[in-house]
A = this chain, B = another copy of it.
Amino acid sequence: MINWKDDRNLTLLVDFYELTMANGYLKNGLGNKIAYFDMFFRNVPDGGGFSIIAGLEQLIDYLNNLKFTEEDIKFLESKKIFSMEFLDYLKNFKFECDVWAIPEGTPVFPNEPLIIVRGPIIQAQFIETMVLLTINHQSLIATKANRIVRAAQGRPVLEFGSRRAQGYDGAILGARAAYIGGCAATANTIAEKMFGIPAVGTMAHSWVQMFDNELEAFRAWARTYPDNCLLLVDTYNVLKSGIPNAIKVFKEELLPRGYRPKGIRIDSGDIKYLSEKARQMLDEAGFSDCKIIASNSLDEYIIRDVLAQGAKIDSFGVGERLITAKSEPVFGGVYKLVAVEENGRIIPKIKISENPEKITNPGFKQVYRLYDKNTNKAIADLITFANEEIDESKPLKIFDPIFTWKSKILENYTARKLLVKIFDKGKCIYKSPSVHEIRNYCLKEIETLWEEVLRFENPHKYYVDLSLKLWKTKQKLLRKYSY
């Protein structure tokens, strides 16, 4: 049965300063002050045009299970830095925050709040490490996987990276994120058991080596799996040995029993050249239905190039460069205080920085995605205060928050709120869709993006604007804190 559940106690997977600060807030009488934090990112990895958010299901799981065991408390006590009052607070810890999130699989853009947490500062800041770790990791892999899937132009991409992942979750949750990003299957068996992601695989070189020769190894395989016969043809020599032996075995072992071959896999050498020759040999032998699968250090750039050169490849196995997002292995999400409440009023906060692009957007916010009613394409995202409503029946003026003279008046548009409430006062009120639903949703959402945004390099910069109200508040705060 498919039932994601992580039974580990990860409560102390937290940067130690969250604990020293929590203890400090309590001691200074600030523990229950209501604070708002935004999780957002500043740059799309690999210079791409958009990212895909993923990991929400695991974040929910973590928040639902957040508690300090006696063992945790004893450990913290042993650090001799925390007050008894604080340790007591942890003993009786009950998660009380409100959380909003953009659903998994949504294309997202820099500076938009992906997750908003509202609650007592002592709690809202405590969960920083896990919010970031969870969403950063899976968003990184979903985003990378989608690039590779788009490069393959409809050919299935298989996630083969477990052995080179950065830890067990890197492999398991990486497979999940890769599937959300559009991969067709994974080699990681446990990912099927946990999430229902199809697990696939055939043989390694060691199978071929275990037999006296390649022909015998192929024969044994064909007899064992006649209805699912896919042969790895590069153990010795693809064109002189692998393909001829495969064809012989297809003819002698499969055809007489009424089976057709599933395919061959090439895992080394030049896959453009070898796939063309292999295709020709298979076609001439009457196996034009036999698929060719290529693997070996692939990524979106190599796939794009070999396909442009006419490689005859039907599907791609992609390993280390997907599961670690090798070309840019960090999704730089941050978690910043954006407001506090005082006597029930929301007071926006700003974080100044020497780097202008690191300045935060203050306040409790919502993100609207604006679609053209005629084309159903996304035109822009608009970040507003949470209580601003958009009246679709009226024209809407949007403007660039830096180059403010660049503006545009929208008519005939729809506005969709991206942020959905998932926790209400500590109680989860959201049910995660299945990974299949998330994957379908993701692929459909990407169809709403203009081709110009989808480019691998130098994509068009999608507009993420601020409402006039939000923009004015930000300017005021900037002036207040300027040095």
Q: Which residues of A contact B (CB under 8 A)?
A: 7-8, 10, 12-21, 23-25, 27-28, 30, 33, 35, 37, 71-72, 75, 79, 81, 121, 125, 128-129, 132-133, 136-137, 140-141, 160, 162-174, 187-190, 192-193, 199-207, 209-210, 220-221, 224-225, 228, 235-237, 240-241, 268-269, 320-321, 324-326, 329-333, 335-337, 340, 349, 351-355, 358, 481, 483
Contact = CB atoms under 8 A, between A and B. Distances in A.
B190 A10 contact: yes
Given A21-B204, A168-B169, A354 B268 contact: yes
Contacts of A13: 162, 168, 171-172, 188-190
A341 to B, nearest CB: 12
A235 B128 CA distance: 18
A202 B22 CA distance: 11
A170 B172 contact: no
B10 A7 contact: no
B8 A132 contact: no
Contacts of A72: 193
Contacts of A25: 210
Contacts of A12: 189-190, 193
A220 B481 CA distance: 21
Contacts of A337: 205-206, 209-210
Contacts of A14: 162, 188-190
B168 A220 contact: no
Nearest to A224: B24
B169 A17 contact: no
A20 B203 contact: yes
A137 B166 contact: yes
Given A24-B221, A190-B13, A203-B17, A164 B132 contact: yes
10 contacts: A13-B188, A20-B201, A24-B224, A30-B210, A81-B225, A133-B165, A137-B165, A209-B349, A236-B483, A268-B358
Given A10-B190, A188-B13, A189-B15, A207 B21 contact: yes
B225 A24 contact: yes
Contacts of A483: 236-237, 240-241
Given A187-B15, A201-B16, A337-B209, A164 B330 contact: yes
A7 B345 CA distance: 46
Contacts of A162: 13-15, 129, 133
Contacts of A351: 205, 209, 235
Given A33-B210, A173-B167, A224 B190 contact: no
Given A21-B207, A210-B337, A326-B329, 8 more contacts: A7-B7, A13-B190, A125-B206, A133-B165, A164-B330, A166-B324, A167-B173, A329-B329
A126 to B, nearest CB: 11
Given A16-B201, A326-B330, A336 B206 contact: yes
A133 B170 CA distance: 9
B133 A171 contact: yes
Given A21-B203, A128-B163, A235-B351, A8 B10 contact: no
Contact of A210 (B121, B199, B221, B268): B121
A163 B210 contact: no
A137 B162 CA distance: 11
A37 B206 contact: yes
B169 A170 contact: yes
Nearest to A200: B16
A166 B330 CA distance: 8
A14 B125 CA distance: 37
Contacts of A358: 268
A168 B58 CA distance: 11
A70 B279 CA distance: 43
Given A14-B190, A170-B169, A193-B75, A136 B164 contact: yes
A168 B205 contact: no
Contacts of A163: 15, 128-129, 132-133, 136, 333, 335
A167 B201 CA distance: 24
- The CB with the most chain B CB atoms within 10 A, among A189, A193, A352, is that of A189
B8 A481 contact: no
